[in-house]
Structure 1
Amino acid sequence: ANSRPPGKVRRTAPNLGVLKQVVGVLLPAAQPGTIVVDHSTVLPETTQALADAAAQAGCSYVHAPVFGRPDAAAAARLITVASGPPAALARVHPLLAAMSRKVMDLGSNPTAATAMKLSGNFCIASCIEMLGEGMTLAEKNGVGRAHFMEWFAEFFSGPGITGYGHRIAADDFHAGQGFTVELGLKDVGHMRRMAATSDTPLPLADLAFNHLLQARAAGHGSSDWGAIALGVRQSAGLPIPAPALPK
C-alpha cells in the first residue's frame, strides 16, 4: 500500500480544458486528506464540480484566486480570496499569506471565492473601459493622453488603476507574463454568464467584451487586456498601434 502522507497541491490553469486535464490526472493519484488549492478563474458551477470531485476522492478543495499583476506576485503583494472547508483553509493560510498582502477568508462555500474573483475582475474591466473612454474623449478634443493621465493620477491615486492608465497613454500593451486580451475575453465571458444566471444586468461588461473583441480582431489577442481602450479609440476613428512583438 502507498503510505505517503497527504499533502497540499496548488494549481492554476489558463482555461477549462487544461483545468479538466490537470484534475483528471491529479485526483486519482492524490492521497486521502490532500488539500487541492486552485487559483484558476472559472465559473461557479465549475468550482462546485471540482469541489465535489475532490470530496469523492477524499480530498479537500480550496478555491483561492488572486488579484494582482506579475510584479505584485513577485513582491508578495497579491490580494487572495479563498473559500472552502474551514480546516483546509486554516492549513493553507500560511502558503497564501506568503504571496499576499491580504488573504480574505470567504467561508466554507467554495463558489464564494469564484464569485468574488469574477466580480472583482468586472470592476477592473470596467475601470479600463472608463479609462479608455475618458482618455479618448480628451484626445479627440485636443487634450493629450499625458495631460489626461497627469490629472487622473492626481485625482485617482491608487496604483492599480493609474498603472493601467499610464500604459494606455503610452501605447504600452505588451502583456509579458500579465493578463492578455484572450484571457480577458474568457473572464468577461464568465462574468456575463454568471450575471445572466442571476438576472444581473452588466452593461459595462458588455461594452468591455465588445471592445476586447475589437482589440483581438485588430491582432491584439496576446496584448495586455488594457487594450480594451484600443476598441474605444478605434470606434472613435483614432489610430491604434500595431500589436507589440514579444520581448
Structure 2
Amino acid sequence: MQVGFIGLGAMGTAMARNLIAAGHSVRAWNRSGNPGLDGIEIVSNPADAFHGSATFTMLSDDDAIRTVLLDRGVLALARPGLVHVVTSTISVAFSEFLGRVHADAGVHYLAAPVLGRPDVAARGELNILVGGNRDAIEAVQPLFAVLGKKLWEMGPEPAQANAAKIAVNMMITMAIEAMTEAVSITEAHGLSRETFFDLILGTLFGSRPYQTYSSNIARNQYNPGFKATLGLKDLRLATEASGDRDLPMLRAVHGHMQAAINAGWTCNGFVPVCNFFYAALASKASGLILPR
C-alpha cells in the first residue's frame, strides 16, 4: 500500500519503519529532514505525502497540524478518497474541526491516538484508539495491524477517540500523583517503598502505569522520559475537554506540573520518567518527603 507519513519524531520514525518492514511504500515529510530511514522517500512538500491510499500524521499538537497541513492548504491537494489518520494527541475541539474540513475536502478523517512509548511503537505493540467512519477504518486495517497489537474502536465520531486518549493521559498523571503521595505517608512511618509497592501491585493496583512508575520510584531512578511541556499540554487538553465540569484532581495535577516547569525541574525540557517531582514540590508547602 502507498502510505504517506507526516512527522518523523521518535514515535513517527518507529511507526514508519514498521510500515516499511511490512512491505508498504512510505513517502514522508518531516520538518527536520531525513532521519536516516532506509526505504523511505522524503518529500519536500507535505502535500506530496497525500497522494497514496492513506496518510498518517504524528505531530505534537493542534498548532503543529494547523501550521503544517491547514495553513498550506494540503487537504485540498490530497487524493480524493484518501484516508487521513491523525495519531497525534490533540484537543477534542480541534478534532471536531478537522472532521469538518476533511469532509469539505473529500478526504476521510480518522482520529487514532496511540497508547505506548517509542519502544512500544518500535515493537508494533501500540494500542490504537480509533474514531471515525467504519468503512475508512476497514480500509486501513492492514496498516493498523502492523502498527499495533490491538485496535480499540471508540465510536463513529473521530473526537471520541481523542476524548478517550486525553482521559487516559490524565489518569496516568493521577496514578503517579497517587503513588507519590502514598509513599510520602508510608516512608514517614518507616515503611520502605519496595514493601509498599509490592503490596499495592499484588492486590488492588496492578495495572501497567502502577507497575512502570512504581519501579522507577522504588529504584529512585528518574531518567528523562517525556517532555514536560507536552505533559502539561495533555492536562490542558483534559481541562478544556471537561468544559464546566469541576474536576479537582485534574486541577491538582495540572497545578503541580505547571509548578514543576516554572521551577525549572526539567532536563532539556523533559521531566523524570516517574514524575516524582509532584511530592517534592508539595513538600515545600505540606511537609511531604523529598526523593531520597
Quick one: which amino acid aligns to residue 207 of structure 2? Answer: G
Q: Does 1:123 align with 2:168?
A: no
- Kindly state the Cα deviation for residue 100 of structure 1 after the two structures are TM-superposed: 1.8
- Kindly state the Cα deviation for residue 175 of structure 1 after the two structures are TM-superposed: 3.2
- Kindly state the Cα deviation for residue 127 of structure 1 after the two structures are TM-superposed: 0.9
Which of structure 1's runs of 4+ aligned residues deviate more than 6 A?
none
- Normalising by structure 2, report the TM-score: 0.73
Q: Give the 5 Å matches for 1:1-247.
A: 6-24=52-70, 25=72, 26-155=74-203, 156-176=205-225, 179-195=226-242, 197=243, 199-216=244-261, 217-220=263-266, 221-224=269-272, 226-227=274-275, 229-236=276-283, 237=287, 238-240=289-291
Quick one: which amino acid aligns to residue 192 of structure 1? Answer: T
Unmatched tracts of structure 2, length 5 or more? 1-49
Unmatched tracts of structure 1, length 5 or more? 242-247
How far, CA to CA, are the matches of 1:140 and 1:181 in structure 2? 28
For residues 91 and 190 of structure 1, do their structure 2 counterparts lie closer, same or farther at Cα, with a shift above 3 Å needed? same
8 Å CA contact 1:211, 1:232 repeated in 2: no
How far, CA to CA, are the matches of 2:90 and 2:186 in structure 1? 36
8 Å CA contact 1:10, 1:38 repeated in 2: yes
Quick one: which amino acid aligns to residue 215 of structure 1? Answer: A
Quick one: which amino acid aligns to residue 180 of structure 1? Answer: K
8 Å CA contact 1:54, 1:60 repeated in 2: yes
Deviation by residue 1:168-191 (Cα, 9 ceiling, x = unmatched):
233333234xx3322111001110
8 Å CA contact 1:82, 1:106 repeated in 2: yes
Deviation by residue 1:25-70 (Cα, 9 ceiling, x = unmatched):
4323311111110011111110011121112211111000011222
For residues 214 and 147 of structure 1, do their structure 2 counterparts lie closer, same or farther at Cα, with a shift above 3 Å needed? farther
How far, CA to CA, are the matches of 1:225 and 1:85 in structure 2? 36
Structure with more strand by fraction: 2
Percent identity for Structure 1 against Structure 2: 27
Match of 2:173, SS? Answer: helix
Q: How many residues are treated as equivalent by the alignment? A: 234
* Superposition RMSD in Å: 2.2
8 Å CA contact 2:217, 2:274 repeated in 1: yes
- Kindly state the Cα deviation for residue 131 of structure 1 after the two structures are TM-superposed: 0.9
The answer to which structure, 1 or 2, has the higher relative contact order (CA under 8 A, 6+ apart) is 1
- Normalising by structure 1, report the TM-score: 0.85
For residues 161 and 189 of structure 1, do their structure 2 counterparts lie closer, same or farther at Cα, with a shift above 3 Å needed? same
